[in-house]
A and B are shown apart, each in its own frame.
Chain A
Amino acid sequence: MKEFKLENEPKIVSGFKTPEHYFDNFSAKVFDKINEEEKEVKVIPFYRRKKTFTWLAAAMVVSALIIPIVNNYNATSNELDETTLENYLSYQSNLNQYDLIQTLDTKDIQELNNNVALENETLEDILSSNPNIERLITE
């Protein structure tokens, strides 16, 4: 078979043709398309702004819904600190007096002293009316 050499051959043209007058109205087509795209581009900011409003409204609804929840949460947690905790400790836990005493430090004891600044008379009353006085003393 004869070896094919590109440079020995007459120039091979691509053979691609265009429809007649194709280039005559090509620029008009391009200008139309550019105008079309520009219209679309103008629509985008409006659409985006609309979207921003939607997001803004959604955010406001969510925060409005959250406010009572947050308030409630704070209120309940305060109550937990006080009475609920006390009740729980005295009635439902396995903690006894010794356990509680163990956790006290000197500062706590001082505070307790201040709180229980009982007058002598009251103290006597309590002691005399308490049938378990001996047990209390030995403890």
Chain B
Amino acid sequence: MIDEKEFIQQLLNPKTQNTAFQKLLSDYQKPLYSHIRNIVLNHDDADDVLQNTFVKVFQYLKNFKGESKLFSWMYRIATNEALTFLNQKAKLNGITSEDLQNKTIDNLKADVYFDGDDIQIKLQKAIVTLPEKQQLVFKMKYFEELKYEEIAEILGTSVGALKASYHHAVKKIEIYVTTN
């Protein structure tokens, strides 16, 4: 892998921009898709948000200061886009974000792009009961298997706080699944 600074230069140089952005897309489209899909839950929405995320990445690249890694910067944009999308969709339907997610989970069984059974549905239902931050931490750690250090960089929190968040999330989920 080439040096990140050099890669950013290639992304900004009009001559090399297209090739470099193509590489950025093929490197990150799958992990960012999973990240977004885990937040918005349905494929069509994830597709929309992922496209918007890459368009924003392309537009804001010239403002990228290199203070954080390209990886965490892109994850941050994806997270914001996904959360904004969820809130807007909920507002449009006149319901809370939690109700919207519950509705989407109920529809998951009929979703052709979802291959899961009762335990998956139950786990998703348990996750929805958590505060937003804990949801994010749990999904990134458990489903996406990101390292605490990486999550810390993306969400801008300390590793210690993240570990505590994840621990709380797991406890609540276990109680939910046991009692429901």
- Chain A residues within CB distance 8 Å of chain B: 1-6, 9, 12-19, 22-23, 26-27, 29-31, 33-34, 37
Most chain B beta-carbon contacts within 10 A, residue among A3, A15, A34: A15
Q: In the complex, what distance in Å separates the CA atom of A93 from the CA atom of B171? A: 92
For the complex formed, measure the closest distance between the CB of B58 and the CB atoms of chain A, giving whole angstroms.
Answer: 5
Contacting pair B114 A15 (CB below 8 A): yes
Query: Which residues of A sit under 8 angstroms from B116, Cβ to Cβ?
Result: 13-15
Q: Are A14 and B120 in contact (CB under 8 A)?
A: yes
Q: Shortest CB–CB separation between residue B19 and chain A, in angstroms?
A: 11
Q: Mind listing 9 A-B residue pairs with CB under 8 Å?
A: A2-B178, A4-B178, A14-B143, A18-B113, A22-B47, A23-B30, A27-B25, A33-B55, A34-B54
Q: Evaluate contact between B178 and A15: CB separation under 8 angstroms.
A: no
Q: Closest approach, in angstroms, between the C-beta of B3 and any C-beta of chain A?
A: 23
Number of residues from B at the complex interface, CB < 8 A:
35
Q: CB-CB < 8 A to A15: which residues of B?
A: 114-116, 120
Chain A residue at minimal CB-CB distance from B170: A6
Quick check: A12 and B55 within 8 Å, CB to CB? no
Measured in the bound complex, the distance between the Cα atoms of B98 and A93 in whole Å is 79
B25-A16 in contact (CB<8A): no
Smallest CB gap from A2: residue in B: B178
- Pick from A1, A13, A16, A30 the residue with the most CB of B within 10 Å: A16
Determine if A6 and B173 form an interchain contact, defined as CB atoms under 8 angstroms apart.
Answer: yes
Using A6-B174, A27-B26, A33-B51 as known contacts, say yes or no to A19 and B120 having CB atoms under 8 A apart: no
Which of B4-12, B31-39, B151-159 faces chain A?
A: B31-39
Chain B 87-117 interface 0/1 with A at a Cβ cutoff of 8 Å (1 = within): 0000000000000000000000000011110
**Distance in angstroms between the alpha carbons of A4 and B179 in the assembled complex:** 9
> Does A12 lie within 8 Å of B114, measured CB to CB?
no
